[in-house]
Amino acid sequence: MSSQTATTSAPTRTDGSPDRTRARARRRRWFVEVGWKYLFAALIIVYAAFPLVYTLSAALNPRGTLSAASGLFSSFSLENFTALADTRYWTWMSNSLIIASVTAVGSVLMGAAGAYAFSRFRFSGRRASLSGLLIIQMFPQALAFIAIFLMLLALGEVVPALGFNSKIAIICIYFGGVLGANTFLLYGFFNTVPIEIDESAKIDGATHAQIFWRLIFPLVTPILAVVALLSFIATYSEFLISRIVLTTEDNWTLAVGMYGWVSDQLTANWGLFTAGAVLGAIPILVLTLLLQRYIVGGLTSGAVKG
C-alpha cells in the first residue's frame, strides 16, 4: 500500500522535449524557405560594396597609391579632393554633364517619337524597319570606329562644328548609338497603352501631336525615365569614342581626362583618380534618386494621375 502511494504521489517530470523539437523544426523550415535568402543577400551586398569601400578608402589616403589603401581607412585626409581644384576636373565634369544630359533628353524624345510611329501607324516597310533596329543594336558601336573617323574627317572640312573636337559631333554620334535600342524598347511599352485612348481622342478632334504629348507621353513616363537614366549613364561614363573625337584637353570628358592620371604606371596618381571617381558618381546617384518615383511607378498609376 505504501509503495503504491509513493508511486502515485511522485511528480511527473516534463523536460519539454516535444516543444524544443517543434521549435527546431520551425527554425529549420524557416532557414530552408526564407533564411538562406538573407544569407545570400548579405553575401551579395558585401561583394558589391567592397569595391566602393576600397575606392573611398583610397580617395581618403594622401599617399596616392592603391597599395597604401590595403589597410582600409588607415589614414584620413581630404588632400586628394582639394587637389582636384588644381586640375581641370570640373571642366571635364561640366563637359560630361552637358553631353550626357543633351544625349539623354534627345534620345528620349527621338525614341518616343519613333516608338509612337511604329506603334500607332501602319506603313510600308514598318516590319522591316523594326527588324533592322533589332539587328543593328546587336552590334556594338565600337565596330564603327573607322566609319566614324572617316565621316568626321569629311564633315569637318565642310562644317567644322560636326568634325573632330566638337561636342555637337559626339552628341550626334551618341544619338545614333542609343536611338535604335531606345526605340525598340519604347515600342514594346507603347504597345501596352490601349489604342482606344487614341480613338476616343480623335473623336473629340485631337490631333496626333496632342494625343502624343497630352495622353500617351504621361502614361509612358516610367519607361521614359528608365531610358533617360540608361542613356545618361552610358554617355556620362563612355571613354573610347570620346577619346577619339575630343582631341583638346578643354573639351575632354571626365572619363578621358581622369584616364590621363593613371595611364602611366610610373606617375599614376590613384588617390586623385579615386577622389575624382567618388565625386563623379554623385550626378548619377542624384539622378537615380530623382527618377526613382517614376521608375517604380507603373503604367496604371500614371494613367490614374493623368
Query: CB pairs under 8 A, 24+ apart, for 207-214?
Result: 208/120, 212/112, 212/113, 212/116
Residue 55 lies in a domain: no
HSE at residue 115, side-chain half, CA atoms within 13 A, is 29
Rg of the Cα atoms in the chain: 30
Q: For the residues 138-152, what does the mean pLDDT come to?
A: 81
Residue 151 φ/ψ region, left for φ over 0, alpha for ψ in the -120 to 50 degree band, beta for the rest:
alpha
In tens, the pLDDT along 160-173 reads 888 888 899 999 88
289 has a pLDDT exceeding 80? yes
φ and ψ at 65, to 5 degrees? -130, 150
14 has a pLDDT exceeding 80? no
Q: For the residues 74-99, what does the mean pLDDT come to?
A: 89
Residue 67 lies in a domain: no
Residue 253 lies in a domain: yes
Euclidean distance between CA atoms 256 and 249, whole angstroms: 9
**What cell was used for 91?**
571642366
Residue 31 lies in a domain: no
In this prediction, residue 298 carries a pLDDT of 43
44/33: higher pLDDT: 44
Angle between helices 89-120 and 254-262 (to 10 degrees): 140
Q: For the residues 237-249, what does the mean pLDDT come to?
A: 88
Euclidean distance between CA atoms 213 and 229, whole angstroms: 20
Question: Would you tell me how many other CB atoms lie within 10 Å of the CB of residue 256?
Answer: 23
Euclidean distance between CA atoms 54 and 72, whole angstroms: 7
Residue 209 lies in a domain: yes
- Give the containing element (helix H, strand E) for 262: helix 254-262
Residue 6 lies in a domain: no
Residue 241 lies in a domain: yes
In this prediction, residue 7 carries a pLDDT of 46
Q: 284 pLDDT band (50/70/90 cuts)?
A: very high
183 has a pLDDT exceeding 60? yes
pTM score, whole prediction: 0.78
Residue 197 lies in a domain: yes
In tens, the pLDDT along 37-75 reads 888 889 999 888 888 888 888 888 877 666 554 567 777
Structural domain harbouring 166: 87-305
| CATH at 152 | 1.10.3720.10
- Could you give the number of structural domains in the chain? 1
